[in-house]
Chain A
Amino acid sequence: MPASNGRHQDWLPLLNMATTEVFELMLGSHLTAFTGEDAILDVTSMVGLAGALRGVMSVRCSDSAAALMASKMLGIPLEKGGPEIADAIGEVCNMIAGNFKNKISGLAEGCMLSTPTVITGRDYQMHALADPTLEIRLTFENLPLVVSLQIHS
């Protein structure tokens, strides 16, 4: 699918595919659609995109989900809040962003990724001058997970 396609909603299946591939290959987890009520998601990982596509990819989840991701990636049990957890969810976001752009013609070579930033805590609001925002809501091991792509251009 070309990057010049203005109907960014068409990218939702690719965002979903990019996400599910990362979780299946790197964590051995099968994601399903999330249909529950809004949950507290207090860990946010973000990767900036620049070049042919400008925006921000973000992954939001609970601290329990983030700890479980790190545990599955490393193959060892982990407590909440350890330094590996921010590293792991940052890398998950990085791989989703990279896998997503590699699926769109013209973005693989024309779009650059920033290193990940991870925010923990729930008492903040994020304001972005971005339109549109693509968002998918999924369940990871019965825990909610939200993946968003805010598109600046």
Chain B
Amino acid sequence: MSGIRALIVDDSSVMRKIVERSLRQAGIEISQVLEAGNGAEALTVLANGAVDLIMCDINMPVMDGLEFIKNLSGVANAKDVPVVMITTEGSEAHVVQALSLGARGYIRKPFTPEQVREQVIPVLAGK
């Protein structure tokens, strides 16, 4: 597994950096990290190029993570791109909703690099 392009969507720039570091600590080789502060910004990023992995928060201003996933079906660059939610929302209802909308993984904050590895490696391998 080497050189993926990852899109990290979170309204906290600090959290985006932490997610990037956790991906690298998980042994995932990243060639480029793209960032977005909410779902609408992420759709704009995707309109300009394809990525291999999307890590996405749920609670964000403008467009939240669940609304973002709903909108992905109409984005050519997002076809078959795995989305892993990474969020403080920890209820089973949120997990079920995210997975039913197409998310492939779900990580609750706070999290460890091991949890990132467990969720992300399988979805990248199965891509």
Contacts and interface: CB of A to CB of B under 8 A. Distances in A.
Interface residues of A, number: 25
Interface centre among A21, A95, A115 (most CB of B within 10 A): A95
Contacts, number: 67
B61 A95 contact: no
A131 to B, nearest CB: 26
Interface residues of B, number: 24
Interface string A14-41: 0000000110011000000000000000
B27 interface: no
A117 interface: no
B15 A98 contact: no
Interface of B is mostly: loop
A87 B110 contact: no
A99 B88 contact: yes
B13 interface: yes
Interface stretch (B1-9, B40-48, B90-98): B90-98
Interface of B: 11-15, 17-18, 21, 59-61, 87-94, 108-112
